[in-house]
Structure 1
């Protein structure tokens, strides 16, 4: 009989429900326990799922029947909880961002390497069929040398969203449109474009009462010589899907949300793909499918069983945070930054 891998979830907010739904669809996974600082929320989730619950996540880390910890708390706590989980010998899946600073992200990556456990950061967009097809086109040089890569995230969040918790919209605990929402297309940009050498960024808070930015812009140059642009906002009503545009010497690919809207790729016909579900989230952060989370959590199990790196590594999470941190620094200093 195949092993059932035990999962513990730290944090019982709305994104934890996405992880719980995903785990139910993975035959080799079992939810063993959950934790939340609030007793009522922890008890409600644990009793609903028929699993152990606690207000102290370290009780989950002490359980030998938990192999993997999913961290679904507020962003500012990801690194510290992740370090505790790694030191306890658990494999770790961290919701984005992996940490709020590149320094703390790298500390977590280094700790996981030293301990010999798997570390992954949630970037479920990579598992969508359309983005997998784009990756294949890049690998096969079907659009030729990349000239320009653009990502745009014209999302909308109400003031009530930021007022719903004291940590929302703060620099230390949540981040703004780049670190919170924009990190998904930024991860895709790095996945397709590779390492970045220079960054010029601008940020602003235009329509919300909050500490962090609700608009972030950047012009990049990749190591390959290609250029890139980033736009992320939570101010644009009513909210629209993110877009990715890749312009190469031989062709162009444009994706809106999770759907390819243009495909010119040498030797590759436009893929006809069955959808796992609309991801959503442009105007409502709770309106997302668990399908791609399921794929990523299943990948973590395979990575453990096959002793390979997860599809989205801690290093990938570090690179995204480092880029966003550099955009912030560039905006503050008013100059281009070389990485």
Structure 2
């Protein structure tokens, strides 16, 4: 069994998920962490018993690092990710892969050029209820898909946005769609397929931020189904996100991580007694590392076998392109067609 050696760039709160996940994998180890903040970098290194640096390019020059996890602020993912790929390292990058579709595609192209793996953290794909839904959708269990609904009524305080200068900015953070909503939008695309057209609206209703705290969209999928999206960080006290899939033969509805409606003729309902722990409704720190661990294991296996990871760079780019198109539609006040 290959032992995979990790480097970690970024020592903010989400980096704890990656460090814990790596720690729990038998054939993996964290060799070095990097942060511009020396105190943060040293604190994580002391806890994880690894090396540290304030210059991530020093990390990239290490011969004992195979895979690099990038957990910096969203606006830096593309530039740091390109440096990782140019160094010939496999890249696992937190969502979003980049802040725009152009930069996302540049990462995809660079990974192919260098012959290394690129995976975007979409850990919700690894949750058992979502894998069960994916099997139904791939197997045609709902028949023709009619409508896919995403609702994300989250809450974030003004203090959350004020906690760092980059939060709530368009270039470094994005709004509710790019930051909080991207996981549900990724699942929607995974379940329903590619999007043909978008009509979007955005607003900033309750926060003093540059980006939106409300995003709405009506979608048309290539398969003919419609989609609706609502994402907000202004709904107090915050409620679980939901995804509902309506087909000609049945319906599936998930709230949070629990399937609450399962009407799929001929398909056994997943075991509802297996509760998944997933937070983030009102506090982004209230999540667990289980599915980050599962995704890192998937990436390691994909590298060994030459298979595609469950969440590819192309997948991450599609989610960013959808959000970018919602923003464009909202700015122009018209429906936007995707290039065929």
TM-score after normalising by structure 1: 0.98
Provide the residue aligned with 1:65 in structure 2: 64
In 2, are the aligned partners of 1:215 and 1:232 still within 8 Å (CA)?
yes
Please report how far the alpha carbon of residue 249 of structure 1 lies from its aligned counterpart in structure 2 after TM superposition.
Answer: 0.3
Distance 2:28 2:231 in 1: 35
> Quick check: 207-216 or 305-314, which moved more?
305-314
Shift of 1:3: 2.3
Number of aligned residues: 338
Contact 2:220–2:226 under 8 Å retained in 1? yes
- What is the distance in 2 between the residues matched to 1:276 and 1:128? 10
Shift of 1:277: 3.6
SS at match of 1:180: coil
1:95 is aligned to: 94
Q: Distance in 1 between matches of 2:200 and 2:138?
A: 29
Q: Which moved more, 1:17-26 or 1:317-326?
A: 17-26
1:217 corresponds to which residue?
216
Counterpart Cα distance in 2 of 1:123 and 1:58: 26
**Unaligned regions of 5+ residues in structure 2, if any?**
none
Q: How far did residue 274 of structure 1 move?
A: 6.0
Aligned to 1:35: 34
Q: Confirm whether residue 295 of structure 1 aligns to residue 305 of structure 2.
A: no
1:163 lines up with 2:125 in the alignment: no
Give the aligned CA root-mean-square deviation in angstroms: 0.8
SS in 2 for 1:266: coil
Q: Runs (4+) of structure 1 moved beyond 2 Å?
A: 273-277
Task: Output the CA distance in 2 between the equivalents of 1:241 and 1:118.
Answer: 33
How far, CA to CA, are the matches of 1:12 and 1:275 in structure 2? Answer: 32
C-alpha separation in 1, matches of 2:160 and 2:5: 33
- How far the C-alpha of 1:270 sits from its partner, in A, is 1.0
Asked if the contact 2:258/2:275 (under 8 Å) is kept, the reply is no
TM-score (norm 2): 0.98
Distance 1:149 1:25 in 2: 36
CA distance, structure 2, for counterparts of residue 155 and residue 16 of structure 1: 22
CA deviations 1:82-132 (Å, max 9, x no partner) are: 000000000000000000000000001000011000000001111111101
1:275 Cα deviation from its structure 2 partner:
3.7
1:251 partnered with 2:275? no
Whole-Å separation in 1 of the counterparts to 2:263 and 2:105:
38
Matched residues in 2 for 1:146 and 1:288: separation? 31
Distance in structure 1 (CA, Å) of the matches to 2:248 and 2:292: 34
Residue 56 of structure 1 aligns with which residue? 55
User: Given that residues 154 and 233 in structure 1 are in contact (C-alpha distance below 8 angstroms), is that contact kept between their aligned partners in structure 2?
Assistant: yes
SS for the counterpart of 1:181 is: coil
In structure 2, distance between residues paired with 1:175 and 1:331: 15
